[in-house]
Structure 1
Amino acid sequence: MDISPPTSPLWIKVVLGAMLLTCLYAWEFWPSKLPSVPPSPHYSVLTNSREPITPLPLEPPDLDQGKVALGKKLFNELKLSHDNTIACASCHQLDHGGVDAKKYSRGIYGQLGNINAPTVYNSGYNFRQFWNGRAATLEQQVDGPVNNPVEMGSNWTEVISKLQKDPSYAIKFANIYPDGITAENIRDAIATFERSLITPNSRFDKFLRGDTKAITPKEFAGYQLFKGYGCISCHQGSNIGGNLYEKLGIMRPYFKENRPLTEADMGRYAITRNLEDMHVFKVPGLRNIALTAPYLHDGSVPTLEQVVRIMGEHQLGVDLPTEDISEIVAFLKTLTGEYGGNPL
């Protein structure tokens, strides 16, 4: 009589195999295993194409330079606002990391917005625009502030009328667009300029390309912790984020019952009215993150140390040790790049 143990069903073997692989991966990157000051030979493991973060291209994208120049002029043009006081550059200041360093930006007549202005740098790498992802392209994004009564408070008929009265704009548009000054062409020029706003050659990019002296052991340890704790699951790729949606408060609720919710707090739900999208936001890219405080959609967090602690608690369900936070912040500071060949 055959007394050998029964054969396990195939699905059980598959599940057990997957669990084993997960455990092995977690053990490999578990923070307690990682030295706070790793020896320099460890650097070589990052100089390959398998890393979840990839460097930005050193050369700017191949764009129509006429459109870039016109878009830059329009990006700084106050005539886009109803009272001629607000330009795109008012909230997205290129000499301040592409933001205005305010919790909420102010629009025409000093009106206060209800959400933190994200950086315009590297925005061409985002898969959607705005915190709630309501615009699919940079061109669509331009419509938002121009027509928002709190921001620019204008409309395309008014904007076009103003620009048509400026002979320099008539010439510039005619040289590029056969149909001259139109809403579509204004959007196209501004979006083209914004796609030129890439910030390559950060110290971490240099490190990924093989310069082992570009970052310190502490910064390297911070990157290993960044991966080991799981931050990399939402912040990866060339923009280190900006390519997916995620709920704010996966492991522990971020929004407290005694905190009144705003429409901005609703995230994707404000667009879809699907309860599963409540508090779901586009994950921001982390390039130049050291320059773009305050943080989160509500601009409520003034420092990198605080936002790393909050992300650990609410997104990962981990109370991060102070030393680990310090090392992760050190890594994040290596992500500041260059614009036009000059350090930001």
Structure 2
Amino acid sequence: MYALHGAVLSLHLSANLAIAQGISPDDYIPTDPDQARIGQLLFYDKILSGNKNISCGTCHHHDHAGGDGLSLGIGEGGVGVGPERTAGTGADAIRKRIPRNAPSLWNLGHRDIELLFHDGRLTRSDIYGNGFDSPAEEWLPKGLDNLVAAQALFPMIAQFEMAGNPRENEIAGATHDRIDVAWPIIAKRVRTIPAYGQMFVQAFDNIEEPADVTIVEIGNALGAFIISEWQSYDSPYDKWLTGTPLPDDAERGRDLFFTGRCALCHAGDLFTDQSFHALGLPAFGPGRTRQWDQISRDVGRMAETNLLEDAYKFRTPSLRNVALTAPYGHNGAYPTLPDMIRHHADPQGARDAWTPDQANLPDVPWLATVDFAIRQDARETARQREAINMRPIALSETEIADLVAFLHALTGETALTRPLGRPETVPSGLPVD
């Protein structure tokens, strides 16, 4: 089942090389600068969270290249930013780790992006009459500009990410009534802050007074910010496409990347086929369980499609700026690029050699019994093993080092210097992480 016919492999690689033309500003969804400015403030404003203690930027921070540096994030109730974030204390202490690694935001506004989230549960579609196939189904409001704007709405209503627990606040309570009930409450919080209300009136043609602001405009502002803020197309590889040589080790890595198996999945200018593959990453954490699922597992794409053939498959991530976004994998299982490459080369061998100390999980004593419980389930471990759909490939340590050098050549020269960056203050007056 893992074998690929040589001719098919050659044609596929040739196609990938042919379509790699580089990225330009014209490849992104256009955005309005005034809306993006509102989005920047909202991105770091904890007013969007149920208990007003976490923002989008907490887990997608500029200081950490749009991520948080953790394997599994610490959401609502935690304190601090990045690898130093702690799990909170007393009544505010977290009840669960975030089940998956915080994905990077790079190039989400590229016109070729077709789906979002690790399991692809958000796509463009007319199935519900609102432009998207999403977890909100027909309850997602109409008028959202793009996938990024739609995606921005869901962390706000996720219990362990931003909403909080039932009975703690009105947003968490409303979310448990129906998925869309909390969004109008969030919108009212925002529009009744005078500075926000005025900015929305000035930036959106359809807003005549602050009372007109809905979650749609909030999502569109966040989308405008994310799209414009996290563009990256000025890496050494992009210069190589126009004739500038790469360093020798990166050039060897580039040749190996495109003539070997890497480019089959990490294809095109974004280095992703936007498809799903079962790599068999070592399992840990609370899992992203489905309704009635009694064990702490994450079945990946299957949770969206309900197809057994999709079990334990996850979306291929883009590799642009990948050197800045450790740890790696849908659950952040590996701390370094060489570790992740070794897993791709020998998934089963790497699984067997993996140890829990490779996961970057801030100490949370009351969750210790849950963190690695799934690894004691022999049947679940066997199912994950059987689902792996990558055949082993021999790579020397020198070849791994060359591949790492090429992946570093995908880092944008201005990746750490963003157009707007993190604001010092936000209109709500709440502290900025």
Question: What TM-score comes out, normalization by structure 1 length?
Answer: 0.79
Amino acid at match of 1:295: Y
Query: Are the equivalent residues in 1 in contact too, given 2:122–2:151 (CA < 8 A)?
Result: yes
Distance 1:333 1:164 in 2: 43
Structure 1's unaligned 5+ residue stretches are 1-17, 30-45
Tell me which residue corresponds to 1:132.
Answer: 119
Distance 1:20 1:300 in 2: 32
Q: Indicate yes or no: 2:198 matched with 1:188.
A: no
- Of 120, 142, 150, 2:152 maps to 142
RMSD (CA atoms):
2.9
Length, aligned pairs only: 299
Q: Indicate yes or no: 2:70 matched with 1:70.
A: no
Distance 2:64 2:18 in 1: 29
Deviation at 1:105, TM superposition (A): 1.3
- Of 286, 307, 312, 2:340 maps to 307
Tell me which residue corresponds to 2:277.
Answer: 247
Q: Indicate yes or no: 2:200 matched with 1:173.
A: yes
Amino acid at match of 2:101: N
Distance 2:405 2:415 in 1: 25
Deviates more, 1:303-312 or 1:259-268: 259-268
Deviation at 1:21, TM superposition (A): 4.1
Q: Deviations over 1:94-116 (max 9, x none)?
A: 23221110111122123321100
Deviation at 1:54, TM superposition (A): 3.5
Query: Are the equivalent residues in 2 in contact too, given 1:80–1:146 (CA < 8 A)?
Result: yes
Tell me which residue corresponds to 1:333.
Answer: 408
Q: Deviations over 1:197-249 (max 9, x none)?
A: 2012111111111112xx211100001111122110111222111x4222223
Distance 1:80 1:261 in 2: 25
Give secondary structure in 1 for the equivalent of 2:326. Answer: coil
Q: Deviations over 1:56-104 (max 9, x none)?
A: 2157844211111111111111100011111111111123221110111
Q: Deviations over 1:148-205 (max 9, x none)?
A: 0101104313312221231011101111232332011111111121111201211111
Query: Are the equivalent residues in 2 in contact too, given 1:198–1:339 (CA < 8 A)?
Result: no
Tell me which residue corresponds to 1:222.
Answer: 253
Pair 229,79 (structure 1): closer, same or farther in 2 beyond 3 Å: same
Q: Deviations over 1:247-304 (max 9, x none)?
A: 223xxx5568x99965363111112211111112111000000010000011110000
Structure 2's unaligned 5+ residue stretches are 79-93, 124-146, 164-170, 172-181, 290-296, 348-389, 420-433
Give secondary structure in 2 for the equivalent of 1:225. Answer: helix
Pair 331,76 (structure 1): closer, same or farther in 2 beyond 3 Å: same
Distance 1:77 1:190 in 2: 11
Pair 78,303 (structure 1): closer, same or farther in 2 beyond 3 Å: same
Tell me which residue corresponds to 1:118.
Answer: 103
Query: Are the equivalent residues in 1 in contact too, given 2:65–2:416 (CA < 8 A)?
Result: no
- Of 211, 232, 238, 2:269 maps to 238
Tell me which residue corresponds to 2:358.
Answer: none
Distance 1:73 1:140 in 2: 18
- Of 52, 55, 58, 2:22 maps to 55
Tell me which residue corresponds to 1:10.
Answer: none
Amino acid at match of 2:270: N
Distance 1:261 1:173 in 2: 38
Pair 343,322 (structure 1): closer, same or farther in 2 beyond 3 Å: farther
Tell me which residue corresponds to 1:15.
Answer: none
- Of 308, 314, 319, 1:275 maps to 308
Query: Are the equivalent residues in 2 in contact too, given 1:305–1:329 (CA < 8 A)?
Result: yes
Pair 168,239 (structure 1): closer, same or farther in 2 beyond 3 Å: same
Pair 182,338 (structure 1): closer, same or farther in 2 beyond 3 Å: farther
Query: Are the equivalent residues in 2 in contact too, given 1:53–1:240 (CA < 8 A)?
Result: no
- Of 45, 49, 68, 1:81 maps to 49
Pair 85,306 (structure 1): closer, same or farther in 2 beyond 3 Å: same
Query: Are the equivalent residues in 2 in contact too, given 1:265–1:298 (CA < 8 A)?
Result: no
Distance 1:159 1:281 in 2: 31
Amino acid at match of 2:266: H
Distance 2:160 2:262 in 1: 35
Distance 2:98 2:6 in 1: 49
Amino acid at match of 1:75: F
User: Structure 2 matches for 1:1-12, cutoff 5 A?
Assistant: none
Query: Are the equivalent residues in 2 in contact too, given 1:229–1:316 (CA < 8 A)?
Result: no
Query: Are the equivalent residues in 2 in contact too, given 1:58–1:201 (CA < 8 A)?
Result: no
Tell me which residue corresponds to 1:161.
Answer: 188
Amino acid at match of 1:198: Q
Distance 1:343 1:336 in 2: 14
